[in-house]
Structure 1
Amino acid sequence: MSDAALLELVQRQTFLYFWEGAHPVSGLARDNVGVLSNLENDIVAIGGSGFGVMAIIVAASRAWISRESAATRLTLMLDLLERATCFHGHFPHFMNGSTGAVIPFSRKDDGGDIVETSLLFQGLLCARQYFDQDNEAEKRLRERITCLWRDVEWSWHTRDGRSVLNWHWSPNNGFSLVHEIRGWNECLVTYVLAAASPRYAIDASVYHDGWAQGRSFLNGKSYYGVELPLGPPYGGPLFFSHYSFCGLDPRGLKDIYADYWRQNTHHVQINFEHCVHNPGQHKGYGPSCWGLTASDDPEGYNVHTPDEFTCACGYGCGNVAGRCCRRHAPDEDNGVISPTAALSSFPYAPDAALRAMRYFYDRLGDQLWGRFGFADAFSQDINWFSKSYSAINQGPIVAMIENYRTGLLWSLFMKDPDVQAGLRRLGFRSPDLS
């Protein structure tokens, strides 16, 4: 198979996670799906559903499905989102895909999750731009997305006007988790959308005094000869360069802190070089087998990084991204490779990503490839291959490959007037703002 044909196959097969593997009632993205069969639960992921919306847009633009079918699926998703339990307009991390009821993530995390909500609206705002035809179905889609978008009280998560956003709020527990969102991590899009809100926008000081004052924000050191502008040592897991940037176009995106194209390409290069140098002597690592991020793991769900990673999830477990396995120890490189890490890096390192794709498919395909693309993770040290897929990992594969191929989702998100207003409010510069 040619490289172009393989790229098309991987992207299209991965999209099926959000089409054939979606919740049968609402069409929202299941949090996890088995390699061989669907899990017998109703858990859907709000952030994963945002990536699902983006995948559906890609599928329609590539004629894998019709535009009408895509609009019908989004209509089904909005049907549940509109009647689902929300908290000052914010959605929970998990909900029941049939009823819209909250499924608590932990004892105190049973309310609104501003980060998951921002990942959902990253996708929905792309849909509002994509479905631009003057017919009743698409006009109604745009109107419904706008109503949900305008209802989100982003400023509520500043806890009575403090200069930082807080990750969670619960009607039962308030802000008792005290999980302030400070950078650098995957939450840049959360601050951009909070500043972009037409009704409940945060002030720029929340970004500068909160997000940019994190202990792991500024870096400036070099790892494997590559300078890292922002972030923890060695850059942290690769989803930092993926989640927010499925919509945010890092090309030429700058503010007073960083050039975000440079930040992301350097982050990916450090991750790649770590796997090439392979200080842990893990089997299989090299120029064709690389990529460390959060994913399934022989011990559960872990964050895999080139270096020990400081807990930022608020539960003292060593993990981040709002997905906590509650193992009370920091995680690092334990030999687990996550295909999404390399494949979602196509815009930043296309040659290295393509080599990894060929290796995953040609060398490991018998054990790694399945009905919705590559399984979540593997370790050749112990001949372990995950038996599941994850929405939060499959989604960026589809979105970032498309941004590499056509820039479609970057174009849709960056031309949204509210997004542009938010970027300007925070002092960003971008070719899309000129």
Structure 2
Amino acid sequence: MSTKILDLEAKGCFDFFWNEANTNPASKGYGLILDQSANKQVASIASVGFGLTAIIIGIERGWITYEQGYERTKGTLETFLYNAEHEGGFFYHFLNMETAQKNETFYDCASIIDSTLFFNGAITSAEYFGGEIKELFEKIYERVDWPMYYDESVNQYYMGYNVDTGGFHHWETYAEQMTQYLLGVASPTHPVPVKIYEGFERKLAKYGPYEFVNAPGGALFVHQFSHAFFDFKHYLDGDGMDWFENSVQASLASRHYSIENPKGLKTYHENSWGLTACASPNGYIVPGTPPFYPNVDPPNEGTVPPAGAAGSIVFTPEESIAALNYYYENHPQLWGEYGFQDAYNLDVEPAWYANHVIGIDKGITLLMIENYRSGLVWDLYMKNKYVQRGIELLNWKKK
């Protein structure tokens, strides 16, 4: 099976993060990266987290020099330390590309998960560059007030924070938030109690021959995002849970759903699978794979994003590479300036192909391809002293 597509797609992903950033050194938003290529005004802090790690991959792959990467990384971390709007050290989902203040064109809040994805990228930067980069990360991390986003009454993190009303919604179930527990308990300044890890529901369910803990809507990114940084392949949690194998089962279940194709849709089949958050003919959607929680009905209407299969390449290498080759060879309209466009749908007339990319989809694709090929991101993240401290406090063990 040809793996040339991995080179092509990885370089396309990197180019998005490198080219779609604020590169004006006089700007308060230096280093901020677009949420998506279709909107040139709005930065995503999660996109920046993936983008910081993309810089490291770019250096190691010879796409940029070490000096270029160092300069961009240093300036980006300075932006987050001194300019980016935050509440208790947690940043807003979306920032103005020029001012680094929260985006005012629609409602936004300080987000714990998007901030954690940024912190994860900053950790890889700290471990790769050391020195001044590590010092900047330390200052950003030490400022984070984890208890501000902790609801002790239910022993769960809040999802967001509003300056007028405080914390809201909760991380009630398993999803993409796993590294929040590591970084929260390991904080040297404002930690949350270790017991927080016991606060979210783990609901074991089965779809086809696959059994796994699923999140309410079954989107595949919930099984991928934490795994892009933390090497769950070699660890069990304190209860003996194998989260890596859980993601293997979830990825195979996602493919099984497209093969089974209960709605008889044109787009779904064995090489067109991986339902996850993406663009669609009707805007941004979050489709997913059964089993679903009660009263959850994901919009499974035929849209498939390449990032779904690509983000699971460490779990299902053969199946993921086969899907990427299928998209590349059979859907030239899906290929663009930054590799695969965000998604496509053959179940509308005419067939629909996205004309843009989304940062978090390019990010999970790039990091997982690199982990599959070299383990680079895992190796860097796992070296961090706070990550190791979190492992120790949560009693996670090597397999």
Extract unaligned runs of 5+ from structure 1.
Answer: 133-138, 312-317, 319-328
> Cα RMSD between the aligned structures?
2.0
Distance 2:55 2:320 in 1: 23
Distance 1:28 1:377 in 2: 24
Give me the identity figure in percent.
28
Report the alpha carbon displacement of residue 418 of structure 1 after superposing the two structures with TM: 0.6
- Alignment partner, residue 184 of structure 1: 174
1:120-174 C-alpha deviation (Å, 9 max, x unpaired): 0111001111113xxxxxx211111111111111122114676211111222232
1:218-272 C-alpha deviation (Å, 9 max, x unpaired): 21x32111121x1247x81110121111101121321216211210100000001
1:74-103 C-alpha deviation (Å, 9 max, x unpaired): 122123212222211111111112111112
1:54 aligned to 2:21? no
Equivalent residues in 2 for 1:30-429, closer than 5 Å: 30-34=34-38, 39-41=39-41, 43-82=42-81, 83-103=83-103, 107=107, 109-110=108-109, 112-132=110-130, 139-159=131-151, 163-175=155-167, 178-208=168-198, 210-211=199-200, 214=201, 217-219=202-204, 221-228=205-212, 230-232=213-215, 236-255=218-237, 256=239, 258-307=241-290, 330-365=297-332, 367-382=333-348, 383-429=351-397
- Compute the TM-score of the two structures, normalised by the length of structure 1: 0.85
- Compute the TM-score of the two structures, normalised by the length of structure 2: 0.92
Report the alpha carbon displacement of residue 308 of structure 1 after superposing the two structures with TM: 7.8
| 3-state SS of 1:297 partner | coil
Give the number of equivalent residue pairs. Answer: 390
| 3-state SS of 1:271 partner | helix
User: More strand by proportion, 1 or 2?
Assistant: 2
Q: Which amino acid aligns with 1:301?
A: Y
Report the alpha carbon displacement of residue 310 of structure 1 after superposing the two structures with TM: 5.4
| 3-state SS of 1:168 partner | strand
Q: Which amino acid aligns with 2:397?
A: R
- Alignment partner, residue 27 of structure 2: none
Taking a change above 3 Å as real, the CA distance of residues 149 and 385 of structure 1, as seen in their structure-2 partners, is same
Distance 1:308 1:292 in 2: 13
Q: Which amino acid aligns with 1:91?
A: F
- Alignment partner, residue 324 of structure 1: none
Taking a change above 3 Å as real, the CA distance of residues 308 and 265 of structure 1, as seen in their structure-2 partners, is closer
Distance 2:147 2:128 in 1: 27
Report the alpha carbon displacement of residue 23 of structure 1 after superposing the two structures with TM: 3.0
Distance 2:52 2:105 in 1: 22
> Is the 8 Å Cα contact of residues 185 and 231 (structure 1) preserved in structure 2?
yes
Distance 1:413 1:104 in 2: 33
> Is the 8 Å Cα contact of residues 94 and 104 (structure 1) preserved in structure 2?
no
Distance 1:303 1:263 in 2: 20
Taking a change above 3 Å as real, the CA distance of residues 161 and 194 of structure 1, as seen in their structure-2 partners, is farther
| 3-state SS of 2:279 partner | strand
> Is the 8 Å Cα contact of residues 173 and 215 (structure 2) preserved in structure 1?
no
Extract unaligned runs of 5+ from structure 2.
Answer: 25-29
> Is the 8 Å Cα contact of residues 275 and 288 (structure 2) preserved in structure 1?
yes
Q: Which moved more, 1:274-283 or 1:2-11?
A: 2-11
Distance 1:84 1:12 in 2: 28
Distance 2:293 2:207 in 1: 18
